């Protein structure tokens, strides 16, 4: 019962329904005891004594009792449903809330299918037990107690004799519970592993098909499916073994009653009416005993399900607000970011970032370059406080980010991730996701800056076009542009572009970057890119390798040094040798003047687009 104690906060507020449900069911059960007594009266007082005129009155009485009993049963059903559903509602809301605040560390390992099955099947099992199962168990106890008392009042020796098999029945039921509980746990685990497999398969269907791995996927699923079947067969085996035993003990009681009770009637120790009443009372007891397997099953299932829910609810939140965490005042945030000797490792792996130092004054542009897995995204994840830094510290305007409330820290940042996620809503909804009370004009301006407006206008429903869960129907570059618009609309103090233009062609990238130049003004910007062209105007470029900074400086400075930066530059511009020569000689002036020409061409466009900043100034 420990599990249900721990879940108390979710149903205790609804205890009035619990009490009402118990009272109603017990009343209905007590009324059920009237039948055996009426039967006894009918045989001993009416039929044996030939008082047939009393039969219609007895029939009316039975009908009356039935109606009252049915009313109480209805009330029990209604109150139980209220209790169960309200509990499920409370639990669902708490679980969803918890999922929102669980840290990135949890989601690194979490499986979607498993979480989905906890939120659906497990929640339902708990709802059914709290709503119905618990009261039913109380009812079983009550039926047993009432039944035995009534039988005792007729004949205590016969009662004891017929009860002889009950301890065996109870013992078998308890053994059954001990076996069936772990079996149900295995069923749930294999069910969740199967759901995960289906979910991953549907999500990754393109990869599966492109590698023609359908047979492999079928085999993989067959294994999990087989596992699920095995667990069910095993559970059915436990049922098959214990149920006939329980039935045997139950029926033995009836045999004893008929044998001994019949002999007592012949000896006139009890009347015929009493034996008939006894007979219906013994079923009154055996019925719930028989059903005890079902109740135990219901209880064990919901106990296993409850454990899995508690596991999520008690999951440790790695990243959370300190007590009295600082809430930033948006208009006072400058955007000065510093990394002081930060070393960080995911789990117990070798550090993804080692001895990392960076000073990004407010409004500066920092470029991060490096091979895959060199730690670029980790810098951003740490700045976002997706993970807590334990070695070294990161500050925003001089305050350690661990002292700032997560919500207010992240509200000052907007990030465009490498992989774009779009919600299954309209394009307008997706662009306006990070901001409440957004106007259509602001959405359009952000989309224009991100060079998304034109293709959006070509869609059948324009900004009202619904894009799928994963932005289906849009190209990678189009999705990325929507994500960029979403970040720009948030008007952050710190803008982070994590390979944000990797999926767009060079020309579009160039256009987007011109848009960025405008919006980057007054914000600290971090740009992660593989293309040097995306970084060369940064105030400082850091070149990373295996979590360490191997080069740092401006584009012009780095171009004068032998090292990975120049190597990368040469590779990327290998087919434009003239550019390399020009660049290495007077990189800065050439680039600046080229940019100036392009800038002038789009001055009018920029003027309109930069109005999106109006929103930011107001903050």
- Which residues of the shown chain bind ligand ATP in the complex (CB under 6 A)? 108, 346, 349, 352, 370, 372-378
521: helix, strand or coil: coil
User: 564-572 and 577-601 helices cross at what angle (nearest 10)?
Assistant: 80
User: Minimum CB separation from ligand ATP for residue 420, in Å?
Assistant: 14
User: In the 8-state DSSP scheme, what is residue 413?
Assistant: E
For ligand ATP, the closer of residues 243 and 346 by Cβ is 346
Residues 6+ apart with CB under 8 A from 246: 169, 172, 173, 176, 289, 290, 292, 293
Q: Between β-strands 540-545 and 524-528, what pairing exists: parallel, antiparallel or unpaired?
A: unpaired
Structure tokens, 350: 């070798």
Question: Are 463 and 429 contacting, i.e. CB atoms less than 8 angstroms apart?
Answer: no
CA angle 486, 204, 468 (to 5 degrees): 40
What is the C-alpha separation between 460 and 448, in angstroms, rounded?
18
User: Minimum CB separation from ligand ATP for residue 99, in Å?
Assistant: 18
For ligand ATP, the closer of residues 348 and 575 by Cβ is 348
User: Minimum CB separation from ligand ATP for residue 525, in Å?
Assistant: 17
User: In the 8-state DSSP scheme, what is residue 426?
Assistant: B
Match 């945030």 to its residue by tokens: 333
For ligand ATP, the closer of residues 376 and 615 by Cβ is 376
User: Minimum CB separation from ligand ATP for residue 322, in Å?
Assistant: 23
What is the C-alpha separation between 217 and 198, in angstroms, rounded?
10
Radius of gyration of the chain (CA): 37
User: Minimum CB separation from ligand ATP for residue 74, in Å?
Assistant: 54
For ligand ATP, the closer of residues 108 and 230 by Cβ is 108
For ligand ATP, the closer of residues 274 and 499 by Cβ is 499
Nearest CA to 515 out of 618, 598, 616, 420 is that of: 598
Question: Are 426 and 463 contacting, i.e. CB atoms less than 8 angstroms apart?
Answer: yes
User: Minimum CB separation from ligand ATP for residue 382, in Å?
Assistant: 9
For ligand ATP, the closer of residues 377 and 501 by Cβ is 377
User: Minimum CB separation from ligand ATP for residue 351, in Å?
Assistant: 9
CA distance to 258, 356, 372, 395, per residue, from 352 (Å): 79, 10, 12, 19
For ligand ATP, the closer of residues 37 and 343 by Cβ is 343
User: Minimum CB separation from ligand ATP for residue 451, in Å?
Assistant: 23
Match 């005993």 to its residue by tokens: 289
Sheet containing 353-360: order of strands: 353-360, 337-344, 391-396, 399-400
For ligand ATP, the closer of residues 139 and 377 by Cβ is 377
What is the C-alpha separation between 418 and 527, in angstroms, rounded?
11
Question: Are 318 and 335 contacting, i.e. CB atoms less than 8 angstroms apart?
Answer: no
CA distance to 265, 563, 569, 578, 595, per residue, from 575 (Å): 111, 20, 11, 9, 21
User: Minimum CB separation from ligand ATP for residue 346, in Å?
Assistant: 3
For ligand ATP, the closer of residues 103 and 297 by Cβ is 103
User: Minimum CB separation from ligand ATP for residue 516, in Å?
Assistant: 20
For ligand ATP, the closer of residues 376 and 453 by Cβ is 376
């Amino acid at each position: 019962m420990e599990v249900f104690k721990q879940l108390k906060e979710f149903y205790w507020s609804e205890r009035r329904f619990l009490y009402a449900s118990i009272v109603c069911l017990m009343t209905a059960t007590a009324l059920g005891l009237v039948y055996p007594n009426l039967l006894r009266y009918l045989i001993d007082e009416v039929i044996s004594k030939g008082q047939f005129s009393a039969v219609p009155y007895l029939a009316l009485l039975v009908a009356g009792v039935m109606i009252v009993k049915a009313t109480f049963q209805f009330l029990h059903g209604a109150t139980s449903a209220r209790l169960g559903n309200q509990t499920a509602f409370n639990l669902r809301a708490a679980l969803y809330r918890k999922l929102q605040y669980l840290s990135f560390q949890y989601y690194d390992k979490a499986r979607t299918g498993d979480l989905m099955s906890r939120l659906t099947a497990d929640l339902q099992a708990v709802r059914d037990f709290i709503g119905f199962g618990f009261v039913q168990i109380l009812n079983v106890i009550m039926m047993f107690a009432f039944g035995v008392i009534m039988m005792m009042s007729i004949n205590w020796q016969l009662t004891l004799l017929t009860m002889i098999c009950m301890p065996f029945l109870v013992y078998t039921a308890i053994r059954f519970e001990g076996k069936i509980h772990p079996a149900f746990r295995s069923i749930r685990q294999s069910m969740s592993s199967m759901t995960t497999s289906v979910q991953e398969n549907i999500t990754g269907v393109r990869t599966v098909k492109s590698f023609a791995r359908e047979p492999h996927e079928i085999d993989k699923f067959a294994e999990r499916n087989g596992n699920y079947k095995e667990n069910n067969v095993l559970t059915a085996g436990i049922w098959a073994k214990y149920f006939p035993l329980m039935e045997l003990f139950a029926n033995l009681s009836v045999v004893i009653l008929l044998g001994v009770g019949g002999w007592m009637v012949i000896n006139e120790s009890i009347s015929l009416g009493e034996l008939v009443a006894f007979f219906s009372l013994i079923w009154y007891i055996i019925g719930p005993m028989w059903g005890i397997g079902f109740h135990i099953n219901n209880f064990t299932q919901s106990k296993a399900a409850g454990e899995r829910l508690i596991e999520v609810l008690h999951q440790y939140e790695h990243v959370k607000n300190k007590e009295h965490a600082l809430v930033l005042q948006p208009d006072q945030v400058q955007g000065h970011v510093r990394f002081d000797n930060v070393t960080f490792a995911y789990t117990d792996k070798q550090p993804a970032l080692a001895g990392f130092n960076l000073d990004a004054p407010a409004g500066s542009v920092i470029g991060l370059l490096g091979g895959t897995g060199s730690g670029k995204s980790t810098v951003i994840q740490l700045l976002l406080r997706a993970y807590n830094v334990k070695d070294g510290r990161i500050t925003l305007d001089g305050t350690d980010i661990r002292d700032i409330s997560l919500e207010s820290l992240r509200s000052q940042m907007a990030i465009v991730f490498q992989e774009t996620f779009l919600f299954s809503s309209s394009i307008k909804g997706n662009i306006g996701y990070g901001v409440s009370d957004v106007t259509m004009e602001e959405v359009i301006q952000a989309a224009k800056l991100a060079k998304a407006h034109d293709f959006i206008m070509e869609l059948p429903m324009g900004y009202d076009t619904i894009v799928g869960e994963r932005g289906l129907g849009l190209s990678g570059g189009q999705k990325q542009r929507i994500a960029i618009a979403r970040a720009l609309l948030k008007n952050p103090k710190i803008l982070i572009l994590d390979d944000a233009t990797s999926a767009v062609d060079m020309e579009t990238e160039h256009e987007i970057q011109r848009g960025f130049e405008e919006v980057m003004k007054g914000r600290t910007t971090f740009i992660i890119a593989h293309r040097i062209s995306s970084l060369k105007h940064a105030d400082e470029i850091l070149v990373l390798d295996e979590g360490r900074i191997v080069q740092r400086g401006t584009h012009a400075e780095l171009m004068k040094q032998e090292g990975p930066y120049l190597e990368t530059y040469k590779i990327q511009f290998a087919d434009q040798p003239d550019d390399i020569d020009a660049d290495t000689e007077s990189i800065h002036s050439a680039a600046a003047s080229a940019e100036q020409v392009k800038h002038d061409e789009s001055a009018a466009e920029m003027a309109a687009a930069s109005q999106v900043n109006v929103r930011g100034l107001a903050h």
